Amino acid sequence: MTRANELDESMDQGADQGADPRSQKQRMLAGDLYIADDPELAADNRRVSAWMDRYNATNTLGQPERQALLAEMFARVGEGCNIRPPFHCDYGYNISLGRGVFMNFNCCVLDVVAVTIGDMTQIGPGVQILTADHPRDPAQRRQMLEFGRPVVIGANVWIGGGALIMPGVTIGDDAIIGAGSVVTRDVPAGAVAVGNPARIRG
């Protein structure tokens, strides 16, 4: 059974939150249904918000100083990473960057689960990387349930400005994503994907 089918089945069965002994944060990190309006997660949001206030005031600082700040919050930061402020994320601790990753101004990463970006990948301004997803059942959305699907971006990928990388997507090494594209499916290594929804070109 695929992960998507497992989630659909749990949604159909009604996701009994009371029977699950795990915290909402543990459920979130596992990619299972959870309630985002939870005190522990709210505290994590406040922490990353305070960090973003600091990070987004670093326009006059050099790359080494910004990298040190990234290392405070992210799961992993390879040598030579540079994210130009302003930058926005949900938690920070689910983001892993390889060596030499570059993200231009005004990128947003909703990292309710893991976001992994490989070495030397370049990401244009205004790109959104989204792991957060929501039940298709409106009754469950009214219960404020959501879940996440990890995003994996390989090495030496180039993502053009304004692209959207949707939940659960994997982009292979050396791929190119056209500016403004909406990536809803996996992109193979070395491929060029453009459009809304993004399709492999040539």
Burial tier of 11 (Cβ tally within 10 Å: 0-12, 13-18, 19+): middle
Kindly report whether the global pTM for this prediction surpasses the value 0.85: yes
Please state, for a pLDDT cut of 70, what percent of the chain lies above it. 91
Across the chain, the runs of DSSP E, i.e. the strands, are: 34-35, 76-77, 82-83, 87-89, 95-97, 102-103, 107-110, 115-117, 122-123, 128-130, 132-133, 145-148, 151-153, 158-159, 164-165, 170-171, 176-177, 182-183, 192-194, 199-200
CA distance 104 to 9: 39
* pLDDT confidence tier of residue 175, bands split at 50, 70 and 90: very high
Asked if residue 103 has pLDDT above 50, the reply is yes
**5 pLDDT higher than 60:** no
67: left (phi > 0), else alpha (psi -120 to 50), else beta?
alpha
**Active site (catalytic) residues:** 134
User: What is the pLDDT, as a whole number, of residue 111?
Assistant: 98
Q: State what percent of residues in the chain have pLDDT above 90.
A: 86
Instruction: For 3-9+23-200, give the CATH class.
Output: mainly beta
User: Three-state DSSP class for 202?
Assistant: coil
Cβ atoms of 125 and 163 within 8 Å: the answer is no
Res. 128: pLDDT tops 60: yes
